[in-house]
Chains A and B, each alone.
Chain A
Amino acid sequence: MANNPLLVGALVTPLIGAVVALIFAKSNRLQRSLAVLTGLVAWVFSIALLAQVHDSGIQTYALGNWSPPYGILLVADSLGALFAFMVTTIMIGGLLYTFHSHDKCMTYPAFVPLFLLMEVGLVGAMFTGDLFTLFVFMELMVLASVSLTAISDDQYGLEAALKYILISSMGTLFLLLGIAAMYATFGTLNMAQIAQILLTGDRPFLAPASALMLLCAFLLKSAVFPFHFWQPDFHTTAPTPISAMLSSIVVKVGVYGILRLVTLLFVEDAPVLEPWLSVLGIIGIIFGSLGALRTYNAKRMLAYSTFAQIGFILVGIGWGGTLALIGAIVYAFNHAFIKSSLLMLIGIVASYTKIKTANFADISGIGRRLPSAVGWLVLLGGLSLAGVPPFNGFISKLALIQGGVESGDWGNLIMMVGAGILTLMYMIRAWQRIFQQNPLPGAAETKSEGDSYFAPMLMIFVCLLLGTILAEPLIQLVSATVEQIQDPNLYIEAVYPRGLGQ
């Protein structure tokens, strides 16, 4: 087994960046430049890795040259590499946003290091080959994002952060309990080895229980129906670039975990779990869309919308066919880009009020003071999120619907498409309120300048380019990914060849 240094590069670069940024705590500008530079380097690593995985199969790195099952193993299969590419790309957008932002919290010396640590946690969770390291990286990500929300300019950020850390720690506890149960049953934590044992047909007593505990922890991380209540508060009160990251890529860690569970670890139990995922997804779509329709705050609307969009992805995973999985992954990919840029744009709108609020009562009609490009970008993003042709949202929805037709689950398919129309309703209504109306009496005072719209503009163009013009190669890439993850033997052979170490 050859060690591929690109894996360590993508993981360690942001870590080094975080440490060096702490050394330059005095100069904000230097910190931010360093962060963007680090993000770019990690991005180059991840894109090179994606190309290599696509060309020559699964790449691994045994840390400290301890061969599995003893050491910590980093694995990039095509799913992990694709998600890591998504994470690093969107992180660059978030880091660029901090450059031209006037929020007070971004001048704190800990802001940039925490941001980069969040990236380490995210990339690490995508690349890790054993369950315990997954727990460590997820906890790193949670602690970094909670701290970032607690120092938010929004005065209720701390309350939301406390709420989330208690709930999320409960989820982490169950993840750890599931991992302990796995270890007690299988005597290993290496995902490939566990999958290998499970594939031989052995059903140890604790295996279904630990599958359920892991599933609940991942559902909590991606805010799916019974575990969603913290999400709108937490995503609304976070600082703008952080809420963009939370709502786009941090929730995708849960999606990634669920995909791993149903395609690698518990392939045999997947038919039992999948219908439940579909049901939870449909509930999420309907209630998330209704919540977004009637909420009072634009950022909160987008947070509810994330709750709904994760539902779409879960329905795709729940259908479980080849086309449905392709649809789910393409959807996850496109949603991350659109949602992060929309949240940044709403953050820009909010930054034009003196108290930085995104309440509709205060930001109605504020659009006339903003550069007109912001209005067009919000409209573009909203249409894309709703899945209007020819934008990328349409392509991901089409891929998902194809999966639904293939699985023949017409009831869920009709409910999903019907509830999807609500997305168009709330996005258009929000756009009208912000950019078309006259200001309401009693609205908050406005400022003449706010954050720059450079970063979200870049993101929207990248996502339109990737999702619309380059849709064909993207779908091909995802098809190759699904082909690879549907055969768990490929992963097992690459990571833990039979007979080795036994």
Chain B
Amino acid sequence: MIEFTFALAIGALFGIGVFQLLRRDLIKAAIGFAILFSAINLFFVAAGAFEGDFAPYVSNVEAQRQTSDPLVQALILTAIVVSFGSFSLVLGFVNIISRRYDTIDSNEINKLKH
């Protein structure tokens, strides 16, 4: 059941994220980007977190209990750091662009088009 809920949540987040990323408003696009990364992090969780009922401590492993997969959680931590870095960089760019172009409408930021 929980896996089905997860699948639904991942799908919904993906849809919302892609929709936001394609918006003309750059701040909304940046937030869509953050939503997409959360969708992928959830996908990572779903890939290994539901295998066991116990936290992956050494004591639990030694007691031969079915532990959940610790690696996905480590991967997500790294992915969160990376996505946070890119997200803040995007927001920084949008900030400077809004001052330089006096707009955050991506249709009007088209000086490169010849």
Using a CB–CB cutoff of 8 Å, the interface residues on chain A facing chain B are 132, 135-136, 139, 142-143, 146-147, 150, 155-156, 158-163, 165-166, 169-170, 172-173, 176-177, 180, 183-184, 187, 189, 233, 237, 296
Contact = CB atoms under 8 A, between A and B. Distances in A.
B21 A162 contact: no
Nearest to B113: A233
Contact of A296 (B33, B72, B78, B114): B114
A373 B26 CA distance: 46
Contacts of B37: 173
A157 to B, nearest CB: 10
Chain A's interface: helix, strand, loop or mixed, by majority?
helix
Interface string B72-92: 100100110010011001100
B94 interface: yes
B40 interface: yes
Contacts of A132: 75, 78
Given A173-B40, A180-B40, A160 B112 contact: yes
A136 B96 contact: no
B33 A169 contact: yes
Given A146-B89, A165-B93, A183 B114 contact: no
Contacts of A183: 44, 47-48, 71-72, 75
Nearest to B74: A132
B97 A162 contact: yes
Contacts of B90: 162, 165-166, 169
A162 B93 contact: yes
A166 B33 contact: yes
A143 B93 contact: no
Interface in B52-85: 71-72, 75, 78-79, 82, 85
A169 B114 contact: no
A147 B89 contact: yes
Contact of B47 (A146, A165, A166, A184): A184
A139 B86 contact: yes
A156 B112 contact: yes
A75 to B, nearest CB: 19
Given A173-B37, A296-B114, A158 B93 contact: yes
A139 B86 CA distance: 9
A136 B114 contact: no
Contacts of A166: 21, 29, 33, 90
A132 B111 CA distance: 37
Nearest to B29: A166
A344 to B, nearest CB: 22
B77 to A, nearest CB: 11
A146 B87 CA distance: 13
A259 B67 CA distance: 37
A159 B112 contact: yes
B12 interface: no
B109 interface: yes
Contacts of B46: 184
A430 B48 CA distance: 56
Contacts of B71: 183
Interface string B19-49: 0010000100100010011001001101110
Nearest to B33: A169
A176 B72 contact: no
Contacts of A150: 93, 96
B48 A184 contact: yes
B38 to A, nearest CB: 11
Contacts of A159: 97, 109, 111-112
Interface centre among B46, B78, B112 (most CB of A within 10 A): B112
Contacts of B72: 183
A116 to B, nearest CB: 17
A150 B96 CA distance: 10
A132 B96 CA distance: 32
A237 B113 CA distance: 13
A159 B93 CA distance: 8
A165 B86 contact: yes
Contacts of B94: 162
9 smallest beta-carbon distances between A and B, as pairs: A184-B47, A162-B93, A180-B43, A233-B112, A180-B44, A139-B82, A176-B40, A183-B47, A156-B112
A275 B35 CA distance: 35
18 contacts: A132-B78, A158-B96, A158-B97, A159-B112, A162-B94, A162-B97, A165-B86, A165-B89, A166-B29, A166-B33, A169-B90, A173-B37, A173-B40, A177-B43, A180-B40, A183-B75, A184-B46, A189-B75
Given A166-B29, A177-B40, A184-B46, 4 more contacts: A139-B85, A183-B44, A183-B72, A184-B47
B48 A143 contact: no
